[in-house]
Structure 1
Amino acid sequence: MLWQTTGEEPTLGAHAFAPAFDHSTVYNVKNASKGIVAAYDLRNGAARWTQHLDDTLAYAPPLLLYGDTVFVAGDHTLYALNTATGVILWKAVSPTRTLLMASAAQPLLIAVGAPGLMAFDPATGRSIWSFNGRPDVADNATLTAAQFYQASISNTNNVIYATGIAWDAQKVQEQFWLFAVDASTGESHWSEQIGSGFSNTDAGRIFTPYVDSIQGLVLFEQVQADGSHTLTAYDTGNGSPRWRIPLAGVTAATPKVIQVSNETLSLFSAQTATQTALRNWSWTRLLLLAISIASLFTLLLLWILPFQLWVKKLKHALSRIPHTLLMPFVLTARLWRFSHLLFALTLVAVLMSAGILTYTRLNHAQQFLNQVEASNGSAQWQQALNTPATLTGADSQGSFVIATSGDHLSQLSALDSRGSSRWATFSSQGVFSLPAVSTQAGTLLVALSGFTSLNYHYAPDDVAYTHPLDHLFVLYLLDRSSGQVIWQSTVVRGGELQESTVLGDDTRFIYVASRSIVRGNMVVQLIAVQKATGVIAWRIFGPRKQGTAVPDYGSLLTGERLIYWQANSTLYALDTQLGQIQWRSYIAEKDSTVSMLEDAQMAQNAGVLLVRRSDLYHALDLSTGNERWTLAGLGSDTAQTPGGIVATGNEFILYGDGAIEAIDAATQNILWKHQNMVAVSDVTVSANGSLIYAVVSNNLDSGSQHQALVAFDVKTTTVHWTFQPDEQALFLYPGAGALHEARGMLFVTLCLPGNTTSCGHQTLYGLDGNTGTVQWKISANRISHTHVTPDGSVVVFQSSSSAWEALQARFGA
């Protein structure tokens, strides 16, 4: 070793960093986090100069040396430094991840990065041309511009071959593209999609295309969705694939292909085992295999011959078979005669071992989709889930499941009433959901949100590369029977820095709330989308919220012509026909920590809109927004037990802070009140309007809490029934579902104590809504995503259980 120096080199980029050097000097990054570049004497390592750049270098690609200039690509800026002094000659704002030099007609510095391809005059930094990475296809309107990572240049035809990632905005799916761009003019010769999906694009960021000008090929190593590697050759003239070679069992690979001769290529990779390595044949391996087969054949001949002796041994062995089969019983009898105690201990050990193995096998949890009759809980079908899936809805024709389809993709599937698949949407890296809105008969509304998390494996996610479909929000109206798209509406485009959700609907519109996430300008807006066409009819901008708070979309209460939207303590009455604000009213909340919880606490009855604040209830005139009357509040909410307002008949049901009461909407008289409870939540009105169901938490004498489902009379103080199957049963627990009511039945899932935990297993109960008696129950390790069809005839849910639990349930254990 002649000399060495220490420093902080770039480690996060898709390229393996390398310094540049000439006959006398080495140019290197000294400190990536501080943006320091240094030059060292090649013979003794003495520092010749250092330069502090106004950028970081964590993702910097190898430095490029050209004449008396060294080019350094910072995380966000490109620099040209003088090799003798380190002085900055010029710089350009251009996040660059590959540096190339084209020198066919005039020398050009090619910068390859997130914005596309750019050509600079290496002496002055003047921009010569740029290419934005737009794929040359007929439907490129649905594709984003490609973001480039790797590129190579052909010295014979002066063409740049670059790879980049584009997104299909319609399906929210990554695509990998290969581009051929003229290095002199920046004109695209051709572009070809060479892959798709997360794994392919993730690995594509690190593999460099290799140009074989003699053969007219561009070679590229790729990773498929199943993790396998291939080496593919594409025609330099038009991008068509020429040949492909599978690379078996590759676990790691170098990013570059090496050409040994005009006819031979080399690439280095690690393989999982010698078995897979032997799949790659060579003359040496074939010779070794032939010798091994010949040796084995010779040994077999030596064992078999002489033939007569072999036949005699075979007959003797066959005659001993009965004796051999009886040997276990003979040994067992000998053990019994030797010691009864030892025999008993051995038998117990064998039986215990068999029991443990059987229990382990039977107690293995399996995910299931279930459909049962709502009236009696009888099973209609059960389907095992072999891939991760989430039950997301149900209707009279069947149910809906969002299932993973491999390689970070998911799709929405529709199941019929027997659990068989009817149709499925396209696969997407986005997030599917079913908004809780009504649509015309025979249709289904589906929302697709953009992908926001790229957990790359081969190299870290680069800060200079934006996620172009982040915050995309698209609504699809599908034909319920076939899954065909009736209309598609892009409510928020990718890159608009909006977070969105569906708030509700009425007979004409679907209402989407969208909030800007730009710091200091967090404005929420309400967007009305026509149900019939998907066209955006109007939008109303709500209050601006400072800081970086959790998105507050507000809450919506629909009426006839007017709808009421409350966001950030501000109420809006909106005329849906005109798309205008009829009136607005700001009602301050003294406790700012609960203002977002109170947005959802409003109801209308007897011509007034009742809104909760921690100190008072405010009743506003529906038409004018003028305050008509107020009531004393029930105190502040908490995130664990938020209060609420329910309107039924001529009454307002108010609950919160451990109390529940009924108020006459016309006279404001308190009809009844129950208080001094720990918490009241999940309040639901029965279909006939005579009962109020609520989950009530109270303290026991020991100081611990117990929870129960209680049925209150709407008119009087009467408590009709209380359901509490176990003092330690939990109605409220992490992941708890909502209380469902249909056809006079209540459906609720409880967490029941186990041997070692407070939530050992879960049970779904079907209760008679009038009496609280249990009509049926189903138990499992976990029960989640319970849905009741709109007609109340069927309950579908997701469960995790084992064969052991099924046996216990069957025999009443």
Structure 2
Amino acid sequence: MSFRLPAILGAALLSACDEPAPEHVEPAADPAAPAPLTDWPVTRGGPTLQGRINGPAPKDPAIDWTFTLDNPSVAEAALSEGTLIVGDLMGFIHAIDFETRKLRWKFETGDTIEGAATIHDGAVFVGSGDQSFHALELTDGSKRWSIEGLEKFPSAANVIPAPDGNGFHLILNGYDGICRCINPADGKEIWQYETNDYINGTPALIGTDRIAFGGCDSVIHVLDAATGKPVNEILTDAQITDSVASLGSTVYSGNYANQVVAAEIDAEEPTWIYQGDDFPFFSAPAVDDARVYIGCRDKALHAIDRETGKKVWVFATGGRVESSPIVFDDAVVFGSSDGRLYAVNPEDGTELWRLDLGEKLTASPIFAQDRIIIAGGAGTVFVIGSGGG
């Protein structure tokens, strides 16, 4: 690690920042379809991190049921094999039976859980603020293995097909500035790539052979998925505060210079830069074929034309929007710090519905089992369906 942010600036950004390259193989058509409607095992709904759902949003939404955690939560949930996984600010991982709505098990780490868990092959993979990253049995929460980093693990791991076709790999970023490729079976490191500063977001899969992510060094890093060797570095104007999203060979990200950036993974500089006003973008974007949707600390959700980078619309709320949106065929759904879950029309930003949940919503919503699921700032997990389901 060649440098760190000065202490004052590092504290201010603590919540979010708050060898020759191998020959490039052009990415194939986007291999990850929009998120399935049954499970949500990987953050943002799939390895490209698009936050995109192939289907309609719930109509006339109502709370179907709730579950009360021991503590507040800012983490995106995960759901697979009938088990809902949610972390909280005191370091507990909760496994909830989605059918019985009862707690199956609870696992204690030593510090805050900020990122979503990942569920794959009967295991739960989750990082903690105590510098540990764990693989737990989905059935009972017993530990398979754990590793230690040099700093906290504030984001979720991604699961990608192994480039050699033999199984899967976990790709994991840490606040120590290291991107790690891990064997999910035993936790053994396959490769690592070290950047010059903190990393907050999850790496996105590009095509079949590249991964990309942004860091507090203000760089979008593009790596070869098989070796971890750098393919490209795209310099932006400020610290990248969350995960990127990808569509085809383009990645999209917000940053601390109040910008949203689009960049081709083999380009020298961004394709376009959308300039906001006086507040940074502290959420991950959602992307569909037409637009990029992203929350901002100006208390609004911004919709940007995906091709031109021009503003399409801005939807104002009563609080900061740090909850990353998800986009359906007919709605963009996101939470706000004003305690409300919103759905707006992707075409023009008109409000479709709002649901007042009464808790600050910093966590990102997910969609699984035909339900929107989001954890609140007072520790309630809300499961929301059409007309209450």
Given the two structures, how large is their TM-score scaled by the length of structure 1? 0.26
Cα offset for 1:767?
2.0
| 2:139 equivalent to 1:629 | no
Partner of 2:252: 747
Shift of 1:665: 1.0
User: Does the C-alpha gap of structure 1 residues 676 and 708 become closer, same or farther in structure 2, counting only changes over 3 Å?
Assistant: closer
Contact persistence 1:685–1:692 (CA under 8 A) = yes
Could you tell me which residue of structure 2 aligns to residue 557 of structure 1?
A: 78
Q: Deviations over 1:742-779 (max 9, x none)?
A: 1322234567xxxxxxx5xx66543223x135573256
Asked if the contact 2:205–2:211 (Cα under 8 Å) also holds between the matched residues in 1, the reply is yes
> Which residue number corresponds to residue 23 of structure 2?
none
1:79-98 aligned at under 5 Å gives the runs: none
**Aligned partner letter, 1:633:** G
| Cα offsets for 1:688-747 (capped at 9, x unmatched) | 3532212234xxxxxxxx52111122221311100015xxx2134xxx676331132223
Partner of 1:776: 271
When normalised by structure 2's length, the TM-score is 0.51
Decide whether aligned partners of structure 1 residues 710 and 788 sit closer, same or farther in structure 2, where only a CA change above 3 A counts.
closer
The match for 1:270 is none
Give the alignment of 1:58-69 within 5 angstroms.
none
Deviation at 1:661, TM superposition (A): 1.0
Which residue matches 2:231? 720
Partner of 2:107: 586
Match of 1:125 in 2: none
Inter-partner Cα distance in structure 1 for 2:134 and 2:284: 35
RMSD, aligned α-carbons: 3.6
> Aligned partners of 1:553, 1:731: CA distance in 2, in Å?
21
Alpha-carbon distance in structure 1 between the residues aligned to 2:246 and 2:181 = 21
d(CA) in 2 for partners of 1:437 and 1:580?
29
Correspondent of 1:542 among 62, 69, 87? 69
Residues 1:439 and 1:660: Cα distance change in structure 2 (over 3 Å): closer
1:104-119 alignment, distance < 5 Å: none
Count the aligned residue pairs. Answer: 237
Preserved contact between residue 234 and residue 270 of structure 2 (Cα < 8 Å): no
Could you report, residue by residue, the CA deviation over 1:627-679 in whole angstroms, capped at 9, with x for unpaired residues? 12222233336xxxx45432223112222222221111124221111236321
CA-to-partner distance for each residue in 1:214-239, whole Å, 9 max, x for gaps?
xxxxxxxxxxxxxxxxxxxxxxxxxx
Task: Say if 1:740 and 1:713 are closer, same or farther in 2 by CA, change over 3 A.
Answer: same
The structure that is strand-richer by fraction is 1
How far is the alpha carbon of 1:599 from its aligned partner? 4.5
Deviation at 1:439, TM superposition (A): 8.5
Q: 1:570-581 alignment to 2 at 5 Å?
A: 570-581=92-103
Matched, 1:766 2:262: yes
- Identical aligned pairs, as a percentage? 13
**What corresponds to 1:674 in structure 2?**
193
Shift of 1:626: 1.8
> Structure 2 vs 1, CA of residues 743 and 559 (structure 1 numbering), >3 Å: closer, same or farther?
same
Deviations 1:129-187 (A, max 9, x none): xxxxxxxxxxxxxxxxxxxxxxxxxxxxxxxxxxxxxxxxxxxxxxxxxxxxxxxxxxx
Distance 2:114 2:287 in 1: 27
Q: 2:169 aligns with which of 611, 630, 651?
A: 651
Query: Which one of the candidate residues 695, 701, 716 is aligned to 2:214?
Result: 695
Amino acid at match of 1:646: N
**Shift in Å at residue 438 of structure 1?**
5.0
CA distance in 2, matches of 1:741, 1:604: 21
Q: Which of 594, 606, 611 pairs up with 2:126?
A: 611
Map 1:75-154; keep pairs closer than 5 Å.
none
Cα distance, 1:488 vs structure 2: 4.8
Which 5+ residue runs of structure 2 have no aligned equivalent? 1-50, 162-167, 293-302, 305-309, 313-389
Query: Cα gap change, 1:542/1:685 in structure 2, threshold over 3 Å: closer, same or farther?
Result: same
Which one-letter code corresponds to 2:184 in the other structure? A
Provide structure 1 residue ranges, at least 5 long, that are not aligned to the other structure: 1-435, 446-476, 478-486, 492-535, 546-550, 590-594, 698-705, 752-758, 801-813
Greater C-alpha Rg: 1
In 2: Cα distance, 1:750 partner to 1:572 partner: 31
Aligned residues of 1:604 and 1:647 also touching (Cα < 8 A): no
**CA displacement at 1:685 relative to structure 2:** 1.4
Q: Secondary structure at the match of 2:200?
A: strand
Alpha-carbon distance in structure 2 between the residues aligned to 1:767 and 1:577: 42
Note closer, same or farther for the CA distance 1:707–1:562 as it changes in structure 2 (3 Å cut). same
Letter in 1 for 2:218: Q
Partners of 2:68 and 2:273 in 1: CA distance: 47
Distance 1:488 1:782, change over 3 A: closer
Q: What is the identity, as a one-letter code, of the residue corresponding to 1:793?
A: A
Q: Is the 8 A contact 1:782 1:799 kept in 2?
A: no
Which is bigger in relative contact order (C-alpha 8 A, separation at least 6)?
2
